[in-house]
């Protein structure tokens, strides 16, 4: 049996589309910060594979406002899930990290998996990043001490039909799509538009997770398309994908940009995936915009 935490989130719902027989759980089912509830969850389902997607996530403002919650909630969730996976003899564990845990600055880009601990993460999501670094150390410790077939993936920024659109939770692409849809001719975006970003369609990450399970691939990988765009380029691609080229974009430069760049190298992953093709940013944003438009109208 496969159990997926965070099953109601962006990646979880994409995964359910292609792996429907797994058990998908959300915070409404079990509070993963409560070790007794995690024990009850594992005792009830007795999974052989756990895909741990659950996390407290959000944008820059939310990260900076609720620093304690981002650190404590994520550390509690990750620790409780890993501890109980060990106690209940889970064979395969795949944890979800994020490229935001990488150092704020390094000498060479794109970053490889070996760069992870070469410096502190960016200040704008420092606590979230450290909670995820703790999970990296935790997984690696179980692998070394108990010879587990456990691993983690480090995806770049994600977007998809199932993303959150609330202002304090949403990331760049989701926020942009909502702004474009609601625009009366102009939109406002935070920062200068200069930072560099990789973005991946959530369905692509789901396909990679399924491929790893189906082919018994156990290793830690960066997961990202090779294309790196400035925020301004992403906004322009979004305007084109949403067929709203004439929208005027105003940049509020009093607001933070966040980390300047954090692009990663996925060569290690692609060497085992064969002919895997990532969804292009324009194609993916068009799919998400069309889906959002239908949902919003309803």
Q: 3-class secondary structure for 26-40?
A: CCCCCCCCCHHHHHH
Query: β-strands 196-197, 229-230: how paired?
Result: antiparallel
> What is the rounded distance in angstroms from the CA atom of residue 216 to the CA atom of residue 137?
22
Nearest-angstrom CA–CA distance, 298 and 135: 40
Residue 171 pLDDT = 74
pTM of the model: 0.94
Structure tokens at 92: 């395969």
**pLDDT (0 to 100) of residue 56:** 92
Rg (CA), the chain: 19
**51, β-bridge pairs:** 4, 94
At residue 166, the pLDDT reads: 64
Q: Assess contact for 45 and 3: CB atoms under 8 A.
A: yes
Active site amino acids: 128
- The pLDDT of residue 254 is 92
Q: Which pLDDT score is estimated for 169?
A: 54
Series of mean pLDDT values for 10-residue runs along the chain (298 residues)? 96 97 97 98 98 90 90 98 98 97 95 97 93 98 98 96 71 89 92 95 98 97 97 96 94 89 96 93 96 81
Query: Which residues are paired to 199 by β-bridges?
Result: 157
Q: How far apart, in Å, do the first and last CA atoms of the chain sit?
A: 36
Retrieve residue 74's tokens: 């994520």
Name the pairing type of β-strands 92-96 and 49-52.
parallel
């Amino acid at each position: 049996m496969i159990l997926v935490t965070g099953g109601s989130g962006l990646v979880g719902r994409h995964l359910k589309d292609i792996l429907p027989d797994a058990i998908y759980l959300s915070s409404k089912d079990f509070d993963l910060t409560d070790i007794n509830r995690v024990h009850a969850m594992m005792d009830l389902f007795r999974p052989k594979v756990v895909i741990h997607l659950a996390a407290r996530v959000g944008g820059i403002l939310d990260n900076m406002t609720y620093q304690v919650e981002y650190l404590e909630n994520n550390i509690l969730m990750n620790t409780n899930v890993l501890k109980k996976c060990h106690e209940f003899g889970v064979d395969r564990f795949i944890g979800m990290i994020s490229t935001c845990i990488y150092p704020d600055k390094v000498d060479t880009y794109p970053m490889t998996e070996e760069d992870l601990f070469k410096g502190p993460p960016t200040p704008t999501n420092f606590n979230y990043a450290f909670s995820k670094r703790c999970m990296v150390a935790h997984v690696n410790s179980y692998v070394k001490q108990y010879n587990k077939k456990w691993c983690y993936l480090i995806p770049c920024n994600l977007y998809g039909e199932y993303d959150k659109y609330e202002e304090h939770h949403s990331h760049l692409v989701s926020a942009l799509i909502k702004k474009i849809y609601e625009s009366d001719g102009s939109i406002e975006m935070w920062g200068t538009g200069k930072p560099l970003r990789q973005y991946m369609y959530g369905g692509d990450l789901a396909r990679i997770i399924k491929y790893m399970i189906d082919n018994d691939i156990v290793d830690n990988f960066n997961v990202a398309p090779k294309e790196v765009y400035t925020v301004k380029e992403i906004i322009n691609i979004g305007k084109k994908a949403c067929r709203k080229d004439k929208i005027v974009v105003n940049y509020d430069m009093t607001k933070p940009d966040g980390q300047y760049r954090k692009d990663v190298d996925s060569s290690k992953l692609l060497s085992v995936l064969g002919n895997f093709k990532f969804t292009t940013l324009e194609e993916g944003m068009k799919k998400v915009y069309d889906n959002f438009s239908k949902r919003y109208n309803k």
